[in-house]
Every structure is written in structure tokens, then in C-alpha cells.
Amino acid sequence: MVLAAAMFGVPALYVPGFALLLAFGVAWTWVRLAALRAGLDVEPGPRTVVEDEPYPLMVRARSGGLPLPGGTATHPLARGPMPIDTSTAVLEIASLRRGRQRIEPPMLVVTDPLGLASSRVRATSSATVLVLPRVEDVVAQGAAMNGTDDATAGSARATPGAGLGKRALDFEVDGLRSYRPGTPASRIHWPILARTGELVERRLVGGADGSPIVVMDAERPVDSDALDRAVRAAASLCFHLASVRGCLLVGCGERVPLRIDRELRTWPQAHARLALVEPSQSPPDPRIAGAKGTVIWVSANGTVPKLPAGLATGAAYLVAATPLDLGPPAFTVAGCQGHALGAGQARPKARAA
């Protein structure tokens, strides 16, 4: 406007032209001085979050004595900028992958009310969070896990194909059967009795008197997504099985299994251990569990393990993160398929455990 006023001889343009120049100068000076004194503090957030849950990154701006003209707190992983003043603002950080993650420092963008000038101030501290694998439902497929009684681990005497696999089911590895007089009360499946009014007992198969053993095999996974699916499946199985009668968790490179009791007192420790699972070069050894209970081998590489004879006598399952040619799955969990491994079943691509 000032140039136009000078070139074309229009004095009326001088007033708005110099006014805008003065406004820009004041805004630029205010923003620069405020940014030099301002700061952004990151307050401690939760130590752990579950996958797909946003991490609340709490930030507070410091003005340094000079009032902030305005600003927003931003982060590359945040869902959007958050207007901020001297009070605490919360940035929701999404897309965090399983494991221990370091969240980069957020940024304070100082701007004037008219948006004529801006300046960025990076926070001096970051945050660290442990992202836990999410726990998903275990869905039984037909009556594959219930022996000859044609019952489903979520409904008493259900008809095959009657909505099976379309809803979450209570998972019981050894299956269910109709109640027989004289069965101890500890074997009765009380949740089904409460829902249907029919007595159903847990059917124990050979070697299932001990706690189930969940083996997390992270040897040479197909890719990172397959490993994450396998970890979610292992976490889901541990959580559901432990609430029934406890279970053991065996991981790669571990010499002592972790026992998860029915009260889930050690579940946070197991959950954190699974969150830190990394690719391994060798498979775990299920024999360190020292028991002959049901073995559930969770594999991230799609290879069928050759279990020791004492651990695969009709009570072994393979949960694979990739499709396998082992017939219809007995159950599905976290995008993985669980197959029963019978004593005489062929074991393609077998390897020694």
C-alpha cells in the first residue's frame, strides 16, 4: 500500500499501509521477545498404556514474565494442536507401538492474535512410556475344543454353527461337558450356570491337571506385524487362562517360567514382559516349566514346533500368526489361529524345540 501510494500518488493509502507495517512490527517484536523467555514443561504421565489407547502428554507453558500473545502445543504424533496458556494442556499421542517408547519433546508455537508472526520453542524434556499389548477375546470355532460332547466353551450344548465365532466365548482349553453327579464344585463352570441355568463341568484331558503353559516363540518372526499379533495372542491367552486356574508363561531366553495366579497378582509383570518381547534367534524350551499341563505354543514364524513327547500327549495347541495348513482352527485370538496338535498329527516343517 505504501509503494502504491508513492507510485500512483494516492495519499489515502499511506494510512492503512503504515498501520499494517506498525502492526506487523509490534507483533513480530512481541512474539520474538515472548519466545525468548517462554518455555514448555512436560509433566510426568502414566508409566504404561495399552495399544490403541492415546497417551496423555501433559504440557505447561512458561511465559517468563512477558505475557504470551497466544500459542499452541503441537507434536508430530498428536491428533491435533492444543491451544495453550499458562495452564496445563493435554496432548493425546496416538500410534504408539508395543514396547518401551520414548516420546519426543513437544513444540510450543507462539503466535500473535492476528497470525502475522510465529516462533517455535521446543520443550527441554521428553517422556517415556511402556506400551502394553492389548488383550482380545478368545473365540472358539465350533465344538473343536470340546471333545465328543458337542458343546461350546461359551454356551451349554450349543449347536455347531449357531453363531459360533461371531462373539466372544469363555475360553477353557480342556473343554466342557454335561454335568455328572458327584463332580466336585471346583469343576463346575459357574459362569455358564449363571447365564443359562444348566450345569456344565470342565472336562480335563490327559496331562491337564497342571496349569496350562503358554510359550511365546519369537524366533525369526515373519515380520513385525506377525510378532505383534503373536504377542497379543499370548497376552490374551494368559489373561483368560490365569483367571480360570492360573497358567505359566515361558519366553525366549528365559530360564524360569513366570506363574500367573488366579487372582492375577503377577499379571502386570507378565503383561510388561510380553510388551518387551523382541525377535529371537532360538526358540524357547517349554520343558523349563517343569509340568505336563496343556501346552499352548504361540508362534510368530508359522513353523510347527516338535514338542517333547511328554508335553504333546493330546493337550498341545499351536497358535500361529500366519495361516497354516492344519485344518480348521479350534479357536482364534488377536488375528491368530489356534490348532490342536494331536499326538499322531502330522507336523509339517517341524523343528526341534
CB 308 within 8 A of CB 286: yes
CA distance 295 to 275: 21
Which CATH entry fits the domain spanning 2-132: 2.60.40, 3.30.70, 2.40.128, 1.20.960?
A: 2.60.40
pLDDT of amino acid 29: 86
CA distance 87 to 84: 7
Residue indicated by cell numbers 455358564: 192
pLDDT band at 314 (very low <50, low <70, confident <90, very high): very low
Best CA proximity match to 238, nearest among 277, 207, 212, 218: 212
Best CA proximity match to 249, nearest among 231, 223, 224: 231
CA distance 305 to 284: 10
Count CA within 13 A, CB hemisphere, residue 223: 2
What are 4-63's pLDDT values in tens digits? Answer: 888 888 888 888 888 888 888 888 888 888 888 888 888 888 999 999 888 998 888 887
Q: Is 120 left (phi over 0), alpha (psi -120 to 50) or beta?
A: beta
Name residue 345's amino acid.
Q
What are 66-125's pLDDT values in tens digits? Answer: 778 888 888 888 888 888 766 678 888 888 899 999 988 888 888 888 888 888 888 888
Q: Which long-range contacts (CB under 8 A, 24 or more apart) does 167-172 make?
A: 167/139, 168/137, 168/138, 168/139, 169/137, 169/138, 169/139, 169/140, 170/240, 171/138, 171/140, 171/237, 171/240, 171/241, 171/331, 172/145, 172/202, 172/244
CB 28 within 8 A of CB 117: yes
Residue ranges covered by each domain of the chain: 2-132, 138-352
Provide the whole-model pTM: 0.71
What are 250-283's pLDDT values in tens digits? Answer: 887 777 788 998 888 999 999 999 999 999 888 7
